[in-house]
Structure 1
């Protein structure tokens, strides 16, 4: 559509709205207490809203006669007629408690509660009502508010001072609104399961952000109900009208009432067992057609709710047509108390303007699931006041007003010398403690030539190994943005010195990243919004110098862990060599999620030997091993040169995206990710001594199985096509692990030796599989169900030939303190050597989200 036509339409809509009359009022209960989030509907138009937490509502209506209908779960529906002229009108409601009629069958001695028959009928209709429309569009207004009731003095060791509290917008006791957003999103649906969200507008208090824009479709017609994120509900929850709901719930008939000539049955939902993913509360089902009329359901820790303490969901359904009902409004309340952070929040969804026969353009439904309008966060206050269906609470209005004013003042002064100088001064002085432990971060805050500097703390980089002894590392990164070229250039120098062997290694890396830089309304680059990480499309890097590497460049043991086991347990597992190198790397990611790249490497590989046998604790019977993969080669490798070219391509079919005004973000797919690698050792160029061809192909995937948890796997095949000249650095290494701390779960073998099975075979295969039960099974064990610890099982294996193979099986517990995982692993090496050991790592709701490398 021509942008000027679009602007004209928006202007017309604004002018039409400006002539509408505001109808306001408050909804009370019988005692005069305001009813929060009561449902308001204009019968003539079908449009509606809800009251806010104070029971107040607002409607924009043009002149005419209307019937205003008010509903609240547990109260009688009330209709009032009103004539709207050009003057603002006020219309309050006082609702009376619903009176329920108990059918005679309820009180019959020994009779089955009629709730079960009602639920059986609702279950029979479930699939019909789950997606009753071939297609539709609607508009969703979404408001989210989170406020703290208290904050700790420290979080993860970091002190929270008065300046931090002021920055968050809370009082001295840590109380106040910390997140407040509102947005308008167009929802489009087409069978089978095609969904698209177009975010028309969004705002976030105190920032230029887009707000929370995704409607929380909580569909109780699904067997397994998804609530927000899997971080709070990894298994989902069983619907009270799921196909097998009678195996999970007890029901009690509370009575029935009539509304608009339709009988509605109210049923109490009671979980049969605690620590199952089940709701409790009430659900109302219409008589005869057995639809959900409304529901008021809760989740707690005893429902296997994660991260949150409680969640309370209320829905009102209404008829769009006589045969089609949809959710009209939904309110979700939640409480949170973890790590000393005590918070509450609510999320309001209001759905209006249903179109049941939409005409979608060709290819409207594609891989872009969420699309943001180019002006999504640039709407005026007049716009928000005109479209907001729920009045803001006084504290919400104050939060928007205060924080937006501060944000605007910062932006208006953001390019002034005074403001930039104040930001620079706020960075503080560089101290010895910064250099040694905290690190140093600095920025010039220049929006046109944004430059940052980061010094990595020295003490956190100290390592120890038997080659270098105590090794000191120094590393810093300087990064500069070039908005006009849509890029960012960084330089990272490294200096490393080994005090035992006296070797100094120094190398550096230049890196260029494509970036998208936002501009503010004045056309200047907004330095607060630099670095949309997911917009990177091309990454080039050029490195060179002299460094050390592990023989296996996947770094199977981290230098930190190696330092610990060397000093305290007399094991020097990490095997290293020095190399003078030059390396070029290029990675490209296109808009469809296809990723590919090229690497060119030159190395002059230099052997190094152990120079110290110092350890804090010595074991007389245990000696350090040579500094080379002695399990595979009988002596140190000879110095040689290598020129290696590598290429890879990676693709996940069916990739879905969120499309921002200035870039895309990948959000996954139901299909595996496939990766193909090829590596060529080139003999003769720059004195290169290597000559080989190596390939590998892998597939990996995470399968969410709802009530039964999550199954993850990674399979890999590969081999050498040519082995004319292959040195140990270029073998196919299987990532082993010989310490108690677990290595990467889906890319290593927890009890395998680091190099004993390295190979140049023409073919090999490897597989990693693990199943996370996410609370299934352990929720039936008395102690574990209260601790919310989860069971995890799986197996890892590789096969080269009958003399070179490995298999391990494991079972363990994760989600300990939400972070820790402990496994017992049994392994067989080459079919004969058996071993059982314990491995400790990260796993669970939080631990499973943390990724790390051994670099």
Structure 2
């Protein structure tokens, strides 16, 4: 705990500018009486029951929104999925008609049938509106587990409840209860709710808060007594987007019209589950699987619009039609080639691309200049990564071709990394396909060094005292994947490596003999090849899934994932220079603890056996990523401060990692100034291998809408080793 407090103080120094920039004014608590405990206890008692009372419903959703551009500059183009705007046009209109299908617990299936807007293109958003609409107000968390619900008993300790007013007759009263957070936090909301006496249902819920770069206000009107009593019938949203001098505001209204409502029935649920595989959720995702044509024609949309437009709304469409007509009848001016070139170059640098090529596939890449592509860690320094994605989906058969080239550069080690992953899924029902991976891996030293490391006692061990002959690595993996039964995957194929000495210039200075003789004295060659058949078995019990046509789409499981990875190097095949066996086992899981807390763990180990020649200790589950990964991709399962040379220094390892994530751990008393923190995290890792008995790493980190940062401290054999940070930009990195 001593190390955690030290780390927390250091990160606090980094966060002070963030808290100062938040500029969130302190709210004055109204002079109202505190709500009686008996009222609150009834609300908290009935909310869990009401959260599951609806088993399924089908409805139509009509959404209408008006967007006002208060201020805009060129930096708005950095925001992924943002609407595209017209020059000198500040008012826009957008509408949509959708089908909704809800299945408990919390599966929202939506198909957009028609869209009409005055934007230059129909695609775009300033926020994911679905997060505000797919809201079971009685749940313990709101907005896809981003907010702590004031209706949840465990979260109530973060809120103050004041009685504003009472309405209605004595036998059917309604209470207006003010909701006030006890301190600032992006996970908390303020607002009010109208609650019915006797049955303790919510008649109206109004909440407001800040999450990411969105200031939101949501007003939810529940249905009248009857079938719609526990469901929302109208949403009123106000979303304000402020980012680097840009100021946008959207006002949205949504209406729900229900066709079918089914209440939860335990006996009926058993009968439904007995008719099919109880992990098959296809019926809950029928709309997602529907590939019907989207209606964008404005005349056809008029036939679907359930409510008439106001005069102002109709005028926006008329002005849009006039602009389109003017563009069609105005000849385009030819730009000079130099202006056109620099304009195209600027677009490539700051714009993301998602290009659909009819009949060929789609290509997607992020802007070349993008802070999200950079990361920093103590042991690796600064890194940059760019990723391109090509997808070709064969609609009638469900087959999929995916090609993902990546390029990265490590500024500290001055090394360039490239890789390309290709997958062709030919049997989508069984997720069966072929996979090819090619690229250059981490620089690595051979097993000859392991014998030198053995001779060094733990008390005097120092990598700098050992001469490491590094080899560059180029690899090619050829695999076949198939799901044998639900959740059980087998990957089989071969792994080929070409490794050659990285620094031959040093030999020219040091060697007193011809190169081959000099290397022979050291027991190494200048080049090594490896040919190794490999089998990987991965099993996740209780995997939930749905069928999208022929394609099987996994949703997730509440059980851990077990992995066994075996590789056998064969000497003499395709010039292979040695043989070895590699065994690795791994167990990992992320547990939801209620609210928006989670606990993740990973336990595993591995060893090399049957070594008959020089080989390379290159584990699959215990390795250093040479290209930077996102925060959540690797932060909970790796060692941030561990020197990269340790990953290849032993024939065996045993490791364990733990990550606890919660909105309030250490900085709750300081949230008055640090109100933009979204998550706090605690990390712990332990590693056992020769000379590390054990290596222990503890860390503390915070997540904000702009960046994630963590501070870590490590010990080796009970003695302090080092202290360092990891930093990644997370803005719009969804």
Tell me if both proteins adopt one fold, taking TM over 0.5 as the criterion.
Answer: yes
Higher mean displacement: 361-370 or 262-271: 361-370
Note the alpha carbon deviations across 1:181-207, whole angstroms, 9 max, x for none.
5232243446xx374636373436466
User: CA, structure 1 residues 660+349, in 2 after alignment: closer, same or farther (shift >3 Å)?
Assistant: farther
What's the CA shift for 1:363? 3.9
What's the CA shift for 1:409? 14
User: CA, structure 1 residues 612+397, in 2 after alignment: closer, same or farther (shift >3 Å)?
Assistant: farther
Does the 8 A contact of 2:393 with 2:400 survive in 1? yes
Q: Is 2:175 the counterpart of 1:265?
A: yes
What's the counterpart of residue 572 of structure 2? 684
Counterpart pick for 1:333 among 221, 231, 238: 238
- SS of 2:69's equivalent in the other structure is strand
Counterpart pick for 2:98 among 184, 209, 212: 184
Q: Distance in 2 between matches of 1:404 and 1:634?
A: 79
User: CA, structure 1 residues 723+274, in 2 after alignment: closer, same or farther (shift >3 Å)?
Assistant: same
What's the CA shift for 1:168? 1.5
- SS of 1:155's equivalent in the other structure is helix
Compute the TM-score of the two structures, normalised by the length of structure 2.
0.67
Q: Is 2:64 the counterpart of 1:169?
A: no
What's the CA shift for 1:254? 1.4
User: CA, structure 1 residues 543+660, in 2 after alignment: closer, same or farther (shift >3 Å)?
Assistant: same
Counterpart pick for 1:123 among 40, 44, 64: 44
Does the 8 A contact of 2:115 with 2:301 survive in 1? no
What's the counterpart of residue 298 of structure 1? 207
- SS of 1:723's equivalent in the other structure is coil
What's the counterpart of residue 65 of structure 2? 145
Q: Distance in 1 between matches of 2:185 and 2:216?
A: 13
Counterpart pick for 1:838 among 706, 724, 733: 724
User: CA, structure 1 residues 721+698, in 2 after alignment: closer, same or farther (shift >3 Å)?
Assistant: same
What's the CA shift for 1:660? 5.7
Note the alpha carbon deviations across 1:670-691, whole angstroms, 9 max, x for none.
4434433221101232342322
Note the alpha carbon deviations across 1:673-718, whole angstroms, 9 max, x for none.
4433221101232342322221223233333445563333332233
Map 1:685-834; keep pairs closer than 5 Å. Answer: 685-707=573-595, 709-725=597-613, 727-730=615-618, 734-735=622-623, 744-756=634-646, 758=648, 761=651, 764-781=653-670, 784-786=673-675, 788=677, 791-800=680-689, 803-815=691-703, 818-825=706-713, 827-829=714-716, 831-834=717-720
- SS of 1:168's equivalent in the other structure is coil
- SS of 2:656's equivalent in the other structure is strand
- SS of 2:306's equivalent in the other structure is coil
User: CA, structure 1 residues 379+817, in 2 after alignment: closer, same or farther (shift >3 Å)?
Assistant: closer
Q: Distance in 2 between matches of 1:408 and 1:656?
A: 50
What's the counterpart of residue 162 of structure 2? 251
User: CA, structure 1 residues 729+775, in 2 after alignment: closer, same or farther (shift >3 Å)?
Assistant: same
Note the alpha carbon deviations across 1:397-434, whole angstroms, 9 max, x for none.
67778889999999x9xxxxx99xx9xx9995599979
What's the counterpart of residue 527 of structure 2? 639
User: CA, structure 1 residues 773+246, in 2 after alignment: closer, same or farther (shift >3 Å)?
Assistant: closer
CA RMSD between the two structures: 6.0
Does the 8 A contact of 2:445 with 2:648 survive in 1? no
What's the counterpart of residue 138 of structure 2? 221
Does the 8 A contact of 2:187 with 2:663 survive in 1? no
Note the alpha carbon deviations across 1:228-249, whole angstroms, 9 max, x for none.
245xx3xx22324636637732
- SS of 1:683's equivalent in the other structure is coil
Q: Distance in 2 between matches of 1:455 and 1:257?
A: 56
- Count of matched residue positions in the alignment of Structure 1 and Structure 2: 628
Q: Distance in 1 between matches of 2:535 and 2:362?
A: 32
Does the 8 A contact of 1:538 with 1:589 survive in 2? no
Does the 8 A contact of 2:661 with 2:679 survive in 1? yes
What's the CA shift for 1:837? 1.1
Map 1:394-543; keep pairs closer than 5 Å. Answer: 429=341, 447-448=358-359, 511=422, 513=424, 538-541=433-436
What's the counterpart of residue 444 of structure 2? 551
Q: Is 2:215 the counterpart of 1:309?
A: yes
What's the CA shift for 1:821? 0.5
Q: Distance in 2 between matches of 1:242 and 1:272?
A: 15
Structure number with higher relative contact order (C-alpha < 8 Å, ≥ 6 residues apart): 2
Q: Distance in 1 between matches of 2:44 and 2:441?
A: 65
Does the 8 A contact of 1:148 with 1:341 survive in 2? no
Larger radius of gyration: 1
Unaligned runs of 5+ in 2: 1-30, 372-385, 410-415, 447-463, 508-520
Name whichever structure is richer in helix by fraction.
2
Does the 8 A contact of 1:335 with 1:344 survive in 2? yes
What's the CA shift for 1:141? 0.7
What's the counterpart of residue 453 of structure 2? none
User: CA, structure 1 residues 328+793, in 2 after alignment: closer, same or farther (shift >3 Å)?
Assistant: same
Compute the TM-score of the two structures, normalised by the length of structure 1.
0.58
Note the alpha carbon deviations across 1:727-754, whole angstroms, 9 max, x for none.
135467954699x999942343222222
What's the counterpart of residue 75 of structure 2? 155
What's the CA shift for 1:349? 4.1
Q: Distance in 1 between matches of 2:115 and 2:257?
A: 20
What's the counterpart of residue 352 of structure 1? 257
Q: Distance in 1 between matches of 2:338 and 2:430?
A: 30
Note the alpha carbon deviations across 1:7-54, whole angstroms, 9 max, x for none.
xxxxxxxxxxxxxxxxxxxxxxxxxxxxxxxxxxxxxxxxxxxxxxxx
